Amino acid sequence: MKLAIAIVAMVGFATALSISVGGHSNARPWDTAAYYKGKCAGCHGHKAEKKFDSTHPDDQLIDAVLKGKKAEKPPNMPGYSSKGVTSEHAKNLVDYMKQLKTGQ
């Protein structure tokens, strides 16, 4: 009886582990550079030289990524939080754009 309980427990543990590991292996990692090239470079340029003022505070820039911003002339900056971009992703994008702009 103890052997049967041990086997059932091990099978349960193995199942839980495979579900846990499987869930993580299917998740795509966030690639800031690829996201920027695919979604941002068209308006901001390959070196973040267009429509990006790196002197603004980070929280203001992150907010613009997440919520969007109306530009002086179109096109307007769309909000990306509704497209799955998190605050952490937005921070990574802002940092990446600053690096591009300074050439580092």
Within a domain: 13 = no
Token reading at 94: 């802002």
Phi-psi group of 41: left, alpha or beta (phi > 0 → left; psi -120 to 50 → alpha; rest → beta): alpha
Question: Residue 77 forms beta bridges with which residues?
Answer: 69
SS3 77: strand
For residues 96 and 104, which has the higher predicted lDDT (pLDDT)? 96
Indicate if the pLDDT at residue 75 is higher than 60. Answer: yes
Within a domain: 20 = no
From 62, 68, 54, select the one nearest 90 (Cα to Cα): 62
Say how far apart CA 61 and CA 94 lie, in whole Å: 7
Q: What is the pLDDT of residues 4-61, one digit of tens each?
A: 454 544 555 554 444 444 444 456 688 999 999 999 999 999 999 999 999 999 999 9
Domain extent, residue 87, equals 31-102
SS3 69: strand
pLDDT given for residue 79 in this prediction: 96
In the chain the first and final C-alpha atoms are separated, in Å, by 65
Query: CATH number, domain at 51?
Result: 1.10.760.10
Within a domain: 14 = no
Q: What is the pLDDT of residues 41-52, one digit of tens each?
A: 999 999 999 999
Total number of domains in the chain: 1
Within a domain: 70 = yes
Within a domain: 48 = yes
Within a domain: 4 = no
Within a domain: 63 = yes
Within a domain: 10 = no
